[in-house]
Every structure is written in structure tokens, then in C-alpha cells.
Amino acid sequence: MDKIVIEGGHKLNGVVEISGSKNAALPIMAAAILTDEPVTIRRLPNLTDVRTMATILNELGIETLWSDGGTTLTLTTKNSAPCTAPYERVREMRGSICVLGPLLAKRQKAVVAMPGGCVIGLRPIDLHLMGMRALGASIDTEHGDVVAAAGRLKGTEIFLAGPNGPTVLGTANVMCAAALAEGRTIIKEAACEPEVQDLARLLNKMGAKISGLGSKQITIDGVDKLHGAVHELIPDRIEAGTYMAAAAITGGSVELRNMRCGDLDAVVDHMQRINIRITKLPDGCRVEPDGELAPLNFATAPYPGFPTDMQAQLMALLTVAKGTSVVTEKVYPDRFMHVAELNRLGAKIHTQGSSAIVEGVESLSGAKVIASDLRASAALVIAGLVARGTTEVKRVYHIDRGYERIEEKLCALGARIHREHDPEETAPAK
């Protein structure tokens, strides 16, 4: 297994290109199940999760043809008999759940292993199942699998929010299933995330009739058949936000290119409140310091609120702010695995329920830390950029799930960072 080694204290300066969105890629790839014609996806990031989804689709009878140096993928159904996403895959990546809706709509059957809990907390799929049932599917759980079956699905009205708000992949699943259902489906309290909007745009290119994109109410008029399409993914807003935080913690000046600032309004606003100047540019933005880092009280929320996927990275930044901050996690109330590791780097953070109190310190000091999940790893790398001495972030396979060539991109900005084999870590903990 590899580790990332960072020598802290070097300002980031220069330009970084943002990759295509991982969280848009996964449901969009799964949507290829809905047609017998080729679906071509451009600007795919080279990430473990994307490769895992390609493997799942292969196993579901879909040919995967990579081109343009691995950034374009053409998916063509060759065999529409397989209907099973086994536990071995689902435990590798919970995003595999997004094959459920497409399988059920197109192949009338889906067997998808129930995802277990994970380090960011309980991650139930009850809303996905409720949505499928509302569309007319019968759902059983047998031996750890969800077994769903249906004739042609039937459009209906579905209220899709749970205790922590709407569900992103649940909305994606219902939208895919309803695209081929008979009649009209209205999803109330739908997720508005840009990734959900991107999926709807692809489905519409395939002949679906979806309106209300980006609002809490999505209307889907079912069609008999979907056809092939070509689609370019939106930029990864969480990768962009992560580079904003990385630039900001070092006090450097970095230009982010190939991104959409409009998808990051809450992040930009929160950065500005802690004295980071963000100048919008036609194709991205410039990030630079605007005074001393100030503390901030903030809470995560579904889009357009502050994303839970940026909570750990902003917390890393607040560890060295002048004063005390309060971070409240409202989407995944237990998503604080990074706190103990940031404290190993000298941060002063304690948690109280779903809040973390962050007392800003003068400086962090490098140490060995363990990445527990994707965004926690990013937070540790960000902290390592300013920690005195050397920081080793272990178990970096987490970071490879969601950040394309992170050490290369940071190195090009002037960070002293490299990847090396970690003899202390052997088998990847799933």
C-alpha cells in the first residue's frame, strides 16, 4: 500500500485544472444500462471508483471501450441478461447502488447487495427502495441482497426526503427508473445537486422527458425507449473546493481552471467569510489570501447549502484560523473520523454530538496519520501542506477513489509532496 509524504511550509502558486466529476460519473455510467445503443461519456476522471463502476457494468453485460487516453468511455449493452451487483463490488464502492433503478427499469429485475455502514456513518438505502416500490416494484431482502422485480414500472408521486434531507443517489435511481416507466412521475423533495442535474441532462439527451432540474420537484414523463448519447461530465466541484482550501491554507495564489464557480456558491461564500479572496474568472477562479484566516461557524446541508463532502477540508483550514470555529454536520452526523487525525497534527478539536469545536492554533506539526475516507484523506493532505516538518498520510487508496493525480497536481503548484510504498501497511482495509 502507498502513503503520501508531505513536507509542509511551501506556498502553493500557479494553475490547476479540475477533472470531471466523480459523483456525476457513477450514476451517469450506470444510466447506460437503460439503452441498447452506445452511450459515450467524456471527461471521465481516472479514479478507482470510476474503474470499479466500469467493472460492475462489464459484469452486467456492458462493453466498456476506453479512448482519448482513458478520458472517454463508450458503454454498449451486449448482454442484457445479468441483473446482479454482488457484495464484493458494493462493499468496494457504495455508489454501486445506482445500478438499481436502471436495472429494474430496463431488465425488470435487480439483485444488488445491501451496502453496510461505513466510516462516515449509517448509510441506509430505505429511500431508494421506497422509490422503487412506489413505481410498482416488489422488493425483498434475501441473504444480504436487495431483490427487486417489476413489470413495466408505473409513474407516480414520490416524496423522497429522509431525516437528513433529500437523497442524491436515491433521486438518481428514481429518475432513471421513472424515465422508462409508464406515465408521469413527480419526485418531491428531490436532490438538487449539480450531479443529479447532470444525470438528468444525459437522460434527456437519451430521449427522456425530465423537467424541473435543479429544483426540489422533478417531473419525469416516461418514454418507451431510450437511445444512445454523447455526454461530457461537469467539473468536479468537490475537487475544486479541495484545491481552494489547499491554496488558502498555504496563503498562496492559485488559479483553478475548467470549473464552474456557480456550483460552489456556498463554498466560495464560506471561504470569503474567513478572509480568502475568490475572484471569479470565465473558466474558473483565483484563490488568494485577503488577511488573516478568520474562524467560522457553519453547518453542512444538501445543495445549495455547504456540502458535507467539503466539511473535513474546511475544518482543516479552520485548525489554523485566528479563533474558535464550530462545525456542525447535518448530512452525516458522525462524519468526524478526521478529527482525531487532525489532532495528531497538533489541531485542537473536540466533538460534541454532531458538532466539532475547532480552536485555532498557531501552527500544526507533521506526523504519521491514517486516512479513513476519501474527504478525510484530503483534509489530512491539506493540513500536511502547512504542518511543520513531514506528514505521512497512510492508506492513500482512499484518496485515489476521488482525486485524480493529487500529488502531481499539488507538486505542480509548488507543494513538496510525493507518494511512496508504505512497508508498514499491507492489506487494504475495506
Alpha-carbon radius of gyration of the chain:
21
Angle (deg, nearest 10), helices 22-30 and 168-179 = 30
- Report in angstroms how near the CB of residue 21 gets to ligand EPZ at its nearest: 9
CA nearest neighbour of 292 among 274, 277, 278? 274
Residue with cell 434531507: 165
Q: 321 vs 403, which CB is nearer to ligand EPZ?
A: 403
How are strands ordered across the β-sheet holding 368-370? Answer: 368-370, 390-394, 2-7, 416-421
Q: How far is the CB of 126 from ligand EPZ (least distance, A)?
A: 5
Strand order in the sheet with 84-85: 84-85, 109-113, 145-149, 138-142
Least distance (Å) from ligand EPZ to the CB of residue 189? 11
- Non-local (6+) Cβ contacts of 138 within 8 A are 148, 149, 150
**Cell representation of residue 204:** 434527456
Residue owning grid cell 492508506: 395
Report CA 246 to chain centroid distance, whole Å.
18
Q: Of 367, 384, 422, 377, nearest to 403 (Cα)? A: 377
Task: Output 213 or 321, the one with its CB closest to ligand EPZ.
Answer: 213
Query: How many residues in total does the chain contain?
Result: 430
**Catalytic site residues?**
118
Least distance (Å) between residue 224 CB and ligand EPZ:
28
Q: How near is the Cβ of 284 to ligand EPZ at its closest, in Å? A: 21
Report the run of H or E that residue 168 belongs to, with start and end.
helix 168-179
Distance CA 255, CA 266 (A): 19
Task: State the residues that interact with ligand EPZ by CB under 6 A.
Answer: 23, 26, 95, 122-128, 162-165, 167-170, 191, 195, 308-309, 331-332, 374-375, 402
> Is residue 104 within 8 Å of residue 129, measured between CB atoms?
no
Cβ closer to ligand EPZ: 240 or 321? 240
Q: Residue 300 gets which letter from DSSP?
A: B
What's the min distance (Å) between Cβ of 231 and ligand EPZ? 17
Least Cβ distance, residue 99 to ligand EPZ (angstroms): 12
Amino acid letter, 289: P
- CA-CA-CA-CA torsion for 146, 159, 225, 125, nearest 10 degrees? -20
Of 174 and 287, nearer to ligand EPZ (C-beta) is 174
8 Å CB contact between 320 and 363: yes
Q: Residue 397 CB, nearest distance to ligand EPZ (Å)?
A: 14
126 CB neighbour count, 10 Å cutoff? 10
Q: Is 318 left (phi over 0), alpha (psi -120 to 50) or beta?
A: alpha
The smaller minimum CB distance to ligand EPZ, of residues 309 and 400, is found at 309
199 vs 155: CA distance, rounded Å = 19
Cβ closest to ligand EPZ, residue 22 vs residue 107: 22
Q: N- to C-terminal Cα distance for the chain? A: 13
Percent helix, strand, coil in the chain, to 5, is 35, 30, 35
Angle between the N-to-C axes of helices 311-318 and 337-344, in degrees from 0 to 180, rounded to the nearest 10: 30
Q: What's the farthest any 2 CA atoms get from each other in the chain?
A: 63
Q: How far is the CB of 13 from ligand EPZ (least distance, A)?
A: 27
